[in-house]
C-alpha cells in the first residue's frame, strides 16, 4: 500500500487491511514459524510474480527475463515458499477483456451518452 497512488479508490478499507498484512515482515515471520514446527502445521505460502517485475531483476543481475524468472522462483522456494505463480496470463486476460469492452463501448458510442471515454489501467503501484 505504500506505493498506492489512490488513483481510483479501487480498494475498500477491508481489502486495504488484507493487502497491508501481506508484507515482507509477515512473510519472514511465517517462514520462521514454518521452520520451527512440524510440516503438518505449516502455513502454505504462495507468491505471485507480476510480469513487470521480471525485467527489473533481469537487468539488475544481467540475466535474460526467463533466467531471472527461474532464479527468482528458485530463490523463493529455497526460502520456504510453497508455490510461485506467474501472473502474466492474468495480465494478458485483463488486456483482452479491456479490448473487448472498448470495442463494445465504441460500437455503442452513438446510442449511449457515457460509453466513451473508457478508462482502464493496471495499478502502477
Contact 5, 124 (CB under 8 A): yes
Residue pLDDT, tens place only, 8-21: 555 555 655 656 66
Q: What is the percent of the chain with per-residue pLDDT over 90, rounded to a whole number?
A: 30
Per-residue pLDDT at 124 = 46
pTM recorded for the entire structure: 0.62
How far is residue 56's CA from residue 52's CA, in Å, rounded to a whole number? 8
Q: What is the percent of the chain with per-residue pLDDT over 70, rounded to a whole number?
A: 78
Contact 87, 51 (CB under 8 A): yes
Amino acid at each position: 500500500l505504500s506505493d498506492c497512488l489512490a488513483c481510483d479508490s479501487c480498494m475498500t478499507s477491508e481489502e486495504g487491511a488484507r493487502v497491508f498484512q501481506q508484507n515482507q515482515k509477515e512473510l519472514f515471520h511465517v517462514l520462521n514459524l514454518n521452520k520451527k514446527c512440524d510440516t503438518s502445521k505449516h502455513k502454505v505460502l504462495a507468491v505471485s510474480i507480476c510480469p513487470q517485475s521480471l525485467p527489473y531483476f533481469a537487468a539488475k543481475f544481467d540475466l535474460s527475463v526467463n533466467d531471472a524468472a527461474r532464479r527468482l522462483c528458485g530463490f523463493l522456494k529455497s526460502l520456504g515458499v510453497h508455490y510461485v505463480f506467474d501472473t502474466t496470463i492474468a495480465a494478458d486476460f485483463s488486456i483482452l477483456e479491456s479490448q473487448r469492452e472498448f470495442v463494445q463501448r465504441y460500437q455503442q458510442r452513438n446510442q449511449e451518452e457515457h460509453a466513451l471515454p473508457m478508462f482502464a489501467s493496471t495499478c502502477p503501484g
